[in-house]
Structure formats: C-alpha cells, structure tokens
A and B are shown apart, each in its own frame.
Chain A
Amino acid sequence: MDQMPDALVAMRDVAISFGGIHAVDRVSIELNGGEVTALVGHNGAGKSTLVKILSGAYQHYAGTIFVGGKEVAIGNPRDAKAYGIETIHQSLALADNLDAAANLFLGRELRTRWGTLDDIAMEAEARKVMRRLSPHFERFKEPVKALSGGQRQSVAIARAILFDARFLIMDEPTAALGPQETAQVGEIIRQLKADGIGILLVSHDIHDVFDLADRICVMKNGRIVGTVRVADVTKDEVLGMIILGNCPPSAIPGPGASVATNEERGRQR
C-alpha cells in the first residue's frame, strides 16, 4: 500500500473531525481521469465534507492526498485549483450580485497591462465558454441572481472548466434543476468525460448516478462502505449499501462495510 498510486487523484486515510465527531474517518479513494465516480450516501454520511477537503475548504485534515502520483498539500481553494482540481459546490458558490463574467473569473481576474480589471476580455471569454454550455445564454450584463436555476448551474460549471481543469468535483449538480436542465447537465458531464477529465459526482439521486457514473463509491457515517462498478450492481444493491452498509459480492468493501455483511456473504458462499 505504500507505493505511489497511479490514479489521477487519490486520497489515503483522510480524516477530519469537528468537535469530536468524525465527519470523515480514514477514507481512501482513487479517482481516474476520463471516468465518472459517483459518491453516494445519506445526509451526514460525510460526502460533502470529503469533497470540501479535496477542494481546499478545510485547512486541517489527517492523511495524504495524491495528484498525478505526487503527494500534495491542499490548504486552501487556491492550492486545489493550482493542481487542476475544480469544484462546483452544491450552493454553486456564486456571488449573486456580480454578473456571469465576474463570477467566472472570481479570484483569477484577467487584467489589462495597467493592472486594472479587463472586464471586456473577461466577458469575451465568458461568452465563448457559455456558448458551449448554454448556447442561448445572453444575459451577460445582469447579476447572476436574476438568472434561472439552470443558467446559474451553467455559470458554475463554466467557471470550473474555464481554466483547463483536470479533475472536477460536482456536489449535487442537478439537485435544483428541472428534468430538461438535468439532461443538459448530464450531456455536459459526458462531454467532459470524453475530454479525459476525471469527475467526482456527489449525488442523492440514484437514477442520475446509474445514468452518468462508471463507478459508485458509497459512504456511511464518515467511512467508505465499498466501491463498485455500475455495470456489476443493481440499484437495490446500492441502496442496501447506502442504508444498511451491506456490501454486495461484486463490490470492493471498505472499512465502513457492516460486519454482518461478511458473515452473510460467507453463508451465501
């Protein structure tokens, strides 16, 4: 286990606790480029916390993170972005009072040679990337609070892919969307995957997960129950993992798998 992982992004024995509660408890996970890994589990299972560690929202965590086989320290969002890890947060993390271009470039503004903000160049770039995601989008002058849920989601995704991300974290990207917009986001995810970008998809929606993901990783009480390929598993088995922590035979069990499962499995064999 001590050799360097060859996955694009790997977390090993990562843990964090808040006030004595282990929100994430010695989690190890490997994530590949060109692959969608879904991270599923109940509310409070630790999905969002794990994702936030990877995106640099927490400074103090135990364990190690590898990007491209090299050990890295991610202490703030800037670090994560420097390693090509971009995050689309569940709340979208948009400054509602600013327009789309200002949000896309927030923290990484384009500037003129006098050091002032180059709003026109930023708008031009924003138009380019938004054309790819949402061809009919024209409301570049309005604050993003005036936009629809799907448009806001497009802005959040555009921000993540604008800077040549290698790895994308999407926290509940379809939770606030209607069916049509959900399909649109699914299309974008497939497109990004085809471009070789690795995606970690955090989702509640088991249908979405089966639709989009290649692998499923289930968390419960801050620990990994198991990881399984979508092709090898049924929805009911995944629900069993989420609710009871039961690992089906096709899954690679993690430390969070309930002990009963192993006994059961022994009996079945």
Chain B
Amino acid sequence: MVQSASPTVRFLKAAELDSRMLGMIGALAMIWVGFHLLSGGLFLTPRNLWNLSVQSASVAIMATGMVLVIVTRNIDLSIGSMLGFIGMVMGAVQTDLVPKLLGFEHSATWAVALAIGLGLGIVLGGFQGLVVAYLGVPSFIVTLGGLLVWRGAAWWITSGQTIAPLDARFRLMGGGPEGSIGAGWSWAVGALACFAVILLMAGGRVRRRKFRFPLRPLAAEIFLGAAACTFIVAAIAVANAYPWPIGSVRRFAEANGISLPPGGLFIAHGIAIPVLIAIGVGVVMTFVATRNRFGRYVYAIGGNPEAAALAGINTRWVIVKVFMLMGFLAALSGAISIARLNAATNSEGTLAELLVIAAAVIGGTSLAGGAGTIAGAMLGAVLMQSLQSGMVLLGVDTPLQSIVVGAVLVAAAWLDGTYRRRV
C-alpha cells in the first residue's frame, strides 16, 4: 500500500505530518494570498498581519479551552456572557475597589484585577461543570442558562454603565504600541522558540532511539525543524517591521526628552502582549492536552465515556476541571478584550461563544467528541479573523460578511466529515 502511494504521500507518512493540519495551513495561505491580490496589496502587510494577530488572540485563547469541552462531548455557550461579566468585574475592581483600598494608579492594580477575574472564571466555570457532571443536566442547557445569567449579571454590576478608562498597566494586555514588547524582546522570544523546537525534536529522537523505535528519516526531521524556525523568524520579522504610529512616537520622544530626527523615528511594535499571551496559552494547552494525564483522560472520555469510567477514571471530576479551565480562559480573554477597548461594557463578548465554537470546529474538533487539536482550533480562529478583516479591507458589507463566515463554517465541517470518513 505504501509502495503504490505518490511521493508526496510517502513524504508525509515518513515525516508523520498531520495532513489535515497541512490542509488548513494551505487554505489559510490561499485566503491570505487571495485577499492580498483582490485588495491590491493591502492584506499581506506588516500592519494588517499585526492587527490580525491581535484581533485573533481573544477568540484563539478561548478556542483552546473549547476544544477540550467539545472533546468531552460537551459544549459551553456561556463563555461570551462570562467574558462580559468577568470583564465588568475586573473593570469595577480596578476603577473602584482597588483605588479605594490602595490608592489611584497603584502599581498592583492590574494584578489584583486580573487575579480576581481569573479566580472568578474558575469558580463560575467550575460551578457550571458541577451542575453538568454531578447533577446530570446537559451542558447545552446549563451553559445556555449561563449565557443569560452572566449577561444579566454583567448588566447589573453598574446598572448598564460602561466602565472607562482602565488602569494604564492593565491596558498593556490589550496590545497597541505600548502593549507590545518591541524588536529586541521579540527577537529574544523568537530565538527561544527556535531553540525549544530544536530541543524538542532532538530530545524525541534520542528517546525513540533509546527504545529502538522506528525514527523519522533525518532529512525529514531537518526539513521540519528548518521550516518551523523559518516560520518563527518570519513572524517576528513581520511584527518588527510594523512601526509605531507617528503620534505614539512623538509622545514617546517628549516623555524621554529625545528630539525627533527629520525623517521620524522608527520604533518597531514587535509581538503584541495579547498575542504573546495567546501563544503561551496555546503551548501550555497543547502540553496539557497531549503530554499530561488530565489531557489523556479528557480524550478518553470523549472517545468512550464508559471505557474511561471502567478504567478507574473519575470522569465527573475531569469534566468539572474542563469547565474550570474554560472559565479561566474566558476570564483571560475578557481581560484582553476590555484592555484593548480601554473600557468594560456589558455587551463585551456578545456572540463570542459562537465564534469560538466555530473556530474549534473549523480547526477540526468533532462535535461527536474525542477528536480535536489545540493548534487546529487556534488556526481556525486565525482563519475566521482573516476572512473577516479581509472582507473589511475589500469593503464588503457587514451582512455579507456574516453570510460568508457562516457558509465557510458549514463547508469546513462538511469537508472535515468527508475527510474523516475517507481516512
């Protein structure tokens, strides 16, 4: 069977690459190049790609948690409302509670607000998880209730008033010129990432050799490592090619007593902090899902709940933990959303749950449970955001944007189903 396969298929087999994931990357590349050509060269610019990365961060973070929720054959419809409610709480904490206790613009304000928000996320998510796992109410119903309850609670906190402006340090989580780490740090992060990639690949190879397992061909391994490092370097280069806007540069120069040279000053954005958070979440969640006992149980429950229980796994508690994690990530996304807006509003995160579920599904998560990857879901989030911002660049009307995104979601799910049946 392997002999009759085409050279490409043989290479993919040898490299043990996920052809599904490659298909998604191919689709994303087509969308990017397509929009670039249609928009007359506006899409593949540092500025647009940088903005795309910031806009994708919030949905991508929640999508990593949604993968685990859906893998266990559950759903969480409440995360948009939870994001809004926790965002309001974090806003109130930093503008009302902390100033009363510690004083205005205290350096710990952001940390207190964030910690309370994340803790609240775990509690709310865990509560919904308990109702699902121990009281046996379907997660669709529990989180549909949550969708209404948390949105109402978000309204209630300030009787519908918007909370603004927010703490200056907290705002850094939202991105923008100050909320980016600059060229030097970006290169440092890139170097660290390349180093980690090489270390992981080499380590895996050494271990496989120790147990005398079949190894990937060395050429394939080197190719993959080089491809990954090239991608990382390219991404950093793009982020570093996007300069601060002139207004921010002027303010920065005044604050530091530098006189602006006639040609202006080139200060690179570098990676935005929300994007860095999203990447960190992606790495940690991938680790949790694939290299950790909890993750193994999550997938086992999705594959066969009865088998998982008979293997001695406390399936109910695992479900509760999955919902806790989802709540935590919704809170983190909430922090990023309000920081980016520099305001907490009671409508923040409306319909976010649907975008997140769509991202997970486009990323190959099966609603039947048991299958889905973190990286796929994050890629799904980027893909949807690409469609949306590409259409904005082309001046497509808002209603038509929704129509296109909806159609893409259905088409992606259909393609995925066909692919699964064949492989």
Chain A residues proximal to chain B, CB less than 8 Å:
55-57, 76-78, 81, 87, 89, 91-98, 102, 106-109, 111, 116-117, 120-121, 123-124, 141, 143
Contact = CB atoms under 8 A, between A and B. Distances in A.
A77 B312 contact: yes
Contacts of B296: 98, 102, 106, 109, 117
A189 to B, nearest CB: 21
Contact of A123 (B16, B210, B211, B292): B211
A253 B300 CA distance: 43
Interface centre among B291, B303, B371 (most CB of A within 10 A): B303
B20 interface: no
B213 A120 contact: yes
Nearest to B309: A77
B293 A87 contact: no
A109 B293 contact: yes
A217 B207 CA distance: 49
The main secondary structure of chain A at its interface with chain B is: loop
Contacts of B307: 91-95, 106
A56 B313 CA distance: 12
A140 B207 CA distance: 17
Contacts of B219: none
Contacts of A97: 299, 302-304, 370-371
16 contacts: A57-B310, A77-B310, A77-B311, A81-B312, A91-B307, A93-B306, A96-B304, A97-B304, A102-B300, A106-B296, A106-B311, A108-B311, A108-B312, A111-B293, A117-B293, A123-B211
B37 to A, nearest CB: 40
B216 interface: no
B311 A116 contact: no
B211 A117 contact: no
Nearest to A81: B312
A107 B307 CA distance: 10
B16 to A, nearest CB: 8
Nearest to A77: B312
The 9 A-B pairs at the shortest CB distance, nearest first, are namely A95-B303, A97-B303, A107-B311, A78-B312, A93-B307, A97-B370, A106-B311, A107-B312, A95-B300
Contacts of B312: 56, 76-78, 81, 107-108
A215 B89 CA distance: 69
A117 B291 contact: yes
A96 B303 contact: yes
A98 B298 CA distance: 11
A77 B312 CA distance: 5
A81 B7 CA distance: 48
Nearest to A91: B306
